[in-house]
Amino acid sequence: MALLRPTTILLGKELRSEFRTRELLTTTWVFVLTVLVLFSFTFDPTQAESRRFGPGLLWLALLFAGSLMLHPSFAREQVNDTLAALRMAPIEPVSIIASKILANLCFLLVAELFLLPIFAVIYNLSLVPILGQLVLVLLLGTLALSTVGTVFSAISSQARMRELLLPLLLLPLLAPALIASTEATRGLLEDPPVLSLPWTGLLAAFDIIFLTVTWLFGEYLLEE
Amino acid sequence: MATGTKQTFPAGIGVEFQQVEKRYGVRFALRGISLRIAAGESVGLVGANGSGKTTLLKVAARLIRPSAGKVQFSSAETSVVSMVGHSILLYDDLTADENLVLFARLYGMEGSRERAAAALESAGLGGRGADLVRTFSRGMRQRLSIARALLPGPGLLLLDEPATGLDAAGQQWLGETLARLRAQGCTLLMSTHGRSETHALLTRAVRLEAGQVAKDSGPSGDPQRVLATALAAPQEA
């Protein structure tokens, strides 16, 4: 309860700010759309090729979009030093990070909600029969992206060359989650579709490990 | 100026710095600061830019962990340590009302909307609650920042050049507000750079130089003498 209440309050603040300005959502949406359309023109894939390459392209686009979206997560708090005000409040410091992880998860999922149908049309893939399983994989993969991305956004926001630092830290660490997400998605696009339990399990384990580490050490990420 | 709803504050909280040091790489921001501020004192920190005033306030606010030494409070209830910073500590993309409600809720205050409305009223911003903070002038932002800091009813209020951006009326409002806080027993620790309405409230002045206490009027000394000496000295740009 000590964590839930402030997390909910701060999540409300994050959502209110973003849906008022739509800065991150618009940028991310345009970016992912551009990448997907460019890839489809470059490869002009057949359906078999779409099944093979589509998942990789989708997750690559989401990774780039994520690194775009995640950077301002803590950088925004520096404009008026609002992080200091939050840190002085009698709340669990990790609730600040938790609210940002959840907010970034929401923003990425909203972006995916709009982009998935476009992805299906451009790459001529039928996603309806596998929608439930695909949502599970997207949820786990996006949670990995938003957890690691938010943590490194907190670290890099206090560094010089922060725009460069975030992708540098993010990409190597997210590699296992991206590979697992891509493989799990590829399995779902096969004929017949298969939900790969090893890859989905790896994704779930990745999420649990990083969420636990964040919960244990999150407080130190916020210090000046 | 609207006076708004009177807020009551808990007993003041004292703070003691024990051999506090803060290093950034090889540079010392604070060097062995030892200072005991009793509950209810109003202490002014003076000194040139870079003398360590802001760092000392941030250490007291527990925003910066000292490299050495420690900070102790006279009460375990440190949630009522509040700060008015150099920055306004408010969200530009939220309205004034939303900002105050947010912080009231984070402090677990009952009736957060009413408290926020009262705080806005007392800061003279009663009619601007629905406006985004980004549309406010510098002085209005500073008033709102002070209103936010007062919201939880602080026992120790840390102020980093609180008169910045305030016009004459705003400075008068600040002076009256701090006088009321002082009368209620709230401990005030404020950095100050130039002459201000708030100087008359001080019961003690401490001059910092290169991260060290250069002069301390003490609880029973004359703070105005220390202030006058410090403010007469050429300030570094």
- Cβ of B91 within 8 Å of Cβ of A80? The answer is yes
Label residue A1 by pLDDT band (50, 70, 90). Answer: low
- Cβ of B63 within 8 Å of Cβ of A10? The answer is no
C-alpha B235: how far from its chain's center? 21
Mean pLDDT of A72-76: 87
Specify the 3-state DSSP secondary structure of B72.
strand
CB of B58 less than 8 A from some CB of A:
yes
Quick check: A134 pLDDT over 60?
Answer: yes
Residue A217 distance to chain B (closest CA, Å): 16
- Sequence-ordered alpha helix ranges (H) in chain A: 4-21, 23-43, 47-70, 72-75, 82-88, 93-122, 131-156, 162-189, 197-221
How far apart (Å, rounded) are the C-alpha atoms in residues B109 and B152? 8
- Cβ of A16 within 8 Å of Cβ of B105? The answer is no
CB of B91 less than 8 A from some CB of A:
yes
Average pLDDT, chain A: 90
Q: What is the pLDDT of residue A68?
A: 84
Residue B233 distance to chain A (closest CA, Å): 31
- Cβ of A224 within 8 Å of Cβ of B148? The answer is no
Q: What is the pLDDT of residue B11?
A: 75
Strand B81-84, strand B68-73: pairing? unpaired
Q: Which residue, among B145, B148, B74, has the nearest Cα to B109 in the 3D structure?
A: B148
All residues of chain B having their beta carbon less than 8 Å from the beta carbon of residue A16 are 94, 98
Point out the residue among B83, B94, B103 whose CB comes nearest to the CB of A16: B94
Residue B69 distance to chain A (closest CA, Å): 18
Q: What is the pLDDT of residue B39?
A: 92
Residue B40 distance to chain A (closest CA, Å): 21
Low-confidence ranges of chain B (pLDDT < 70): 1-10, 78-79, 194-197, 233-237
Point out the residue among B93, B98, B107 whose CB comes nearest to the CB of A89: B107
% of chain A with per-residue pLDDT over 90:
52
- Cβ of B92 within 8 Å of Cβ of A79? The answer is yes
CB of A86 less than 8 A from some CB of B:
yes
Residue B97 distance to chain A (closest CA, Å): 12
Residue B84 distance to chain A (closest CA, Å): 9
Q: What is the pLDDT of residue B3?
A: 40
Say if pTM beats, i.e. exceeds, 0.90.
Answer: no
Q: Among A63-67, A149-153, A194-198, which is the least confidently predicted range?
A: A63-67
Point out the residue among B62, B87, B105 whose CB comes nearest to the CB of A81: B87
Answer for the pair B50, B212: CB distance below 8 angstroms, yes or no: no
Compute, in degrees rounded to 10, the torsion defined by CA atoms B15, B18, B22, B23: 180
Q: What is the pLDDT of residue B79?
A: 63
Q: What is the pLDDT of residue B77?
A: 73
Point out the residue among A6, A81, A223 whose CB comes nearest to the CB of B106: A6
How far apart (Å, rounded) are the C-alpha atoms in residues B2 and A109? 46
- Cβ of B98 within 8 Å of Cβ of A16? The answer is yes
pLDDT, tens digit, 9 for 90 and up, residues A173-216: 999 999 999 999 999 998 889 999 999 999 999 999 999 999 99
Q: Among A47-51, A73-77, B119-123, B125-129, which is the least confidently predicted range?
A: A47-51
Nearest chain B residue to A82 by CA: give it: B89
Query: A30 CB contacts (<8 Å, ≥6 apart)?
Result: none
Label residue A28 by pLDDT band (50, 70, 90). Answer: confident
Quick check: A20 pLDDT over 60?
Answer: yes
Query: A100 CB contacts (<8 Å, ≥6 apart)?
Result: A10, A14, A73, A74, A150, A153, A154
Q: What is the pLDDT of residue B4?
A: 41
Mean pLDDT of A89-104: 94
- Cβ of A16 within 8 Å of Cβ of B90? The answer is no
Label residue A164 by pLDDT band (50, 70, 90). Answer: confident
Q: What is the pLDDT of residue B10?
A: 57
Specify the 3-state DSSP secondary structure of B187.
strand
Q: Which residue, among A219, A218, A156, A149, has the nearest Cα to A178 in the 3D structure?
A: A149
- Cβ of A84 within 8 Å of Cβ of B63? The answer is yes
CB of B105 less than 8 A from some CB of A:
yes
Tokens linked to A156:
């890099």
Residue B176 distance to chain A (closest CA, Å): 24
- The burial of A202, by beta-carbon neighbours within 10 Å (0-12 exposed, 13-18 middle, 19 or more buried), is given as buried
All residues of chain A having their beta carbon less than 8 Å from the beta carbon of residue B58 are 84, 224
